[in-house]
């Protein structure tokens, strides 16, 4: 993982970065993070979760789910910009979804760990999402076949609920949802 610290990044600076190629970009607390494309296990895991959530949402008026790459901008000054693996925005918060990006805190963010992003997902992004009031944050670990569910209360994430393959994911933002954790971890 490579980081580049400038005095202050803007969204326009980000938009001027080269397109394509194997790198993804994010700006957290003034640092530009460049990350290689995720591995196949990561992509299979997030793909399965996206399909399950998309199927669940079909025909329900709860909101929309987005899969990376999707820009989520928490702040323009200083720039706080990330590309989460998966984002859910409820109908109640749909005004934050624009034609170009998501501007504000989604209801749910999911990050699937990979070797190049694990530290950032567990520390910098956890702190960023907590600071900007993301109500629910899931950290999916495809190596351990676990999901850590963080829910915010009084501005802080509570200790996570950690679910293994025998557990089922639920969310107050997705009433009626119960996903067997094992269903989105592909066999090795």
Q: What average pLDDT values come out for the chain (188 residues) when binned by 10 residues?
A: 55 66 65 74 90 93 93 86 94 96 97 87 94 96 94 95 95 93 80
Q: What does the pLDDT read at residue 100?
A: 92
Can you tell me which residue has the tokens 């789910």?
A: 65
Please give the helix or strand (H or E) that residue 111 lies within, else none.
strand 108-112
How many residues are present in the chain? 188
CATH numbers and ranges of domains, the chain: 39-184 (3.90.1570.10)
Task: Give the pTM.
Answer: 0.84
């Amino acid at each position: 993982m490579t980081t580049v610290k400038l005095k202050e990044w803007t969204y326009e600076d980000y938009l001027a970065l080269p397109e394509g190629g194997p790198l993804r970009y994010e700006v957290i607390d003034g640092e530009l993070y460049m990350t290689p494309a995720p591995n196949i296990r990561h992509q299979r895991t997030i793909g399965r979760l996206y399909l399950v959530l998309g199927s669940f949402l079909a025909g329900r008026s709860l909101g929309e789910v987005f899969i990376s790459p999707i820009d989520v901008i928490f702040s323009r000054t200083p720039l706080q910009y990330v590309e989460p693996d998966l984002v859910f925005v409820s109908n109640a918060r749909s005004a934050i979804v624009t034609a170009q990006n998501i501007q504000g805190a989604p209801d749910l963010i999911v990050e699937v760990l990979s070797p190049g992003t694990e530290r950032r997902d567990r520390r910098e992004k956890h702190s960023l999402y907590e600071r900007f009031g993301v109500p629910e944050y899931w950290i999916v670990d495809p190596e351990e076949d676990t999901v850590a569910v963080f829910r915010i209360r009084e501005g802080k994430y509570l200790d996570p609920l950690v679910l293994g393959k025998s557990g089922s994911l639920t969310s107050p933002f997705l009433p009626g949802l119960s996903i067997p954790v094992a269903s989105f971890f592909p066999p090795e």
